[in-house]
Amino acid sequence: MILLDYKDSRPIYEQVVEGLQRLMLLGVLEEDSQMPSVRSLAMELSINPNTIQRAYGELERRGCIYTVKGRGSFVGNVENLREKEKEVIAGKMEALAEEAAGLGMDREDFVALARQAGKKIKMTGGGRKR
């Protein structure tokens, strides 16, 4: 399910992109499965079909979906998306590590905090939440 926040400063199409990527990562939209049609998703979200078309264009540009002429859009390689998201998280972790170092925190304390956060959300050993 995609939730749109009209108070969010990001454009609606970006929120749609993020929502669809989340559904892909969670396995709701499986690899090579057909995406909802532009018209049906626009009706479901009560937004303009052009907004959905723009979101699909962005997802295709990112390699998250692919289009088959006359058949529609399909979910692309989810593992590639997962790897890209890991890179984003790695960048955030690096920024947090720099901030922690700036506060005088040592590596062991930083790692302990990361482990504690992982336990709170029940991360599995393989890195995937189930």
CA atoms of 50 and 59, how far apart (whole Å): 14
pLDDT of 109 strictly over 60: yes
Q: Compute the average pLDDT of residues 82-93.
A: 94
CB-based contacts of 12, cutoff 8 Å, min separation 6: 4, 6, 47, 51
Q: Which amino acid is at 36?
A: P
Mean pLDDT throughout 4-30?
Answer: 96
Cβ-proximal residues to 74 (8 Å cutoff; 6+ apart), any chain: 32, 33, 34, 35, 65, 66, 67, 68
* Distance of alpha carbon 114 from alpha carbon 119, whole angstroms: 9
Across 86-93, average pLDDT: 95
Tell me the two tokens of residue 60. Answer: 């295709």
- Give me the residues paired with residue 73 across strands: 67
**Distance, CA of 34 to CA of 55 (rounded, Å):** 15
pLDDT for the residue numbered 125:
57
The single-letter DSSP state of residue 11 is -
Residues 79-90 have a mean pLDDT of 94
